[in-house]
């Protein structure tokens, strides 16, 4: 009886070792098959990835261009609003300046200080009188 038990143990161990070798061989063959398939189909797969990448890039550029165009339009609109506002402010400042000049001239006139216009008029009259005196002096 002892021999039979021993023989069964040896058969079980030999069978387990054969199974391990069989699985190892299958794993090896599967690896070789995967390597071969990647070699054959890998180029096509890479080309598909490139096409997909190009499509995404094209869409991304389109979106960026649209956003950039919209932003530039908003900037142009803001510039127009600023220039319009600037024009209005300049008009108001001119009105304020004229009103200020008028009031100052009025105040100076009330206290007896002649205006620029008055001084220029007097200067022109003096020039006329000087010219007239010089003519009279030459005749005599």
Domain residue limits, the chain: 2-139
pLDDT score, position 58: 94
C-alpha 80, offset from chain centre = 19
Q: Residue 5: is its pLDDT beyond 70? A: no
Average pLDDT estimate for 5-28: 70
DSSP assigned state of 52 = H
pLDDT score, position 1: 47
Average pLDDT estimate for 24-52: 80
| Per-residue confidence band for 3, with pLDDT thresholds at 50, 70 and 90 | low
| Per-residue confidence band for 6, with pLDDT thresholds at 50, 70 and 90 | very low
HEC secondary structure over 72-95: HHHHHHHHHHHHHHHHHHHHHHHH
What is the rounded CA–CA span in Å between residue 104 and residue 108?
A: 6
Q: Is 0.75 topped by the overall pTM?
A: no
Higher-confidence residue of 2 and 99: namely 99
Higher-confidence residue of 45 and 133: namely 133
Are the beta carbons of 115 and 109 closer than 8 angstroms? yes
């Amino acid at each position: 009886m002892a021999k039979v038990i021993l023989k069964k143990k040896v058969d079980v161990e030999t069978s387990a070792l054969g199974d391990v070798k069989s699985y190892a061989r299958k794993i090896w063959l599967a690896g070789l098959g995967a390597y071969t398939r990647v070699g054959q189909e890998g180029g096509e797969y890479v080309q598909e990835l490139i096409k997909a990448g190009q499509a995404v890039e094209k869409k991304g550029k389109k979106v960026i261009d649209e956003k950039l165009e919209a932003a530039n339009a908003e900037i142009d609109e803001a510039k127009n609003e600023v220039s319009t506002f600037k024009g209005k402010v300049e008009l108001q400042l001119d009105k304020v300046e004229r009103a200020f000049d008028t009031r100052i001239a009025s105040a100076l006139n009330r206290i007896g200080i002649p205006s620029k216009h008055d001084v220029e008029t007097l200067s022109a009259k003096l020039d006329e009188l000087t010219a007239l005196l010089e003519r009279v002096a030459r005749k005599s």
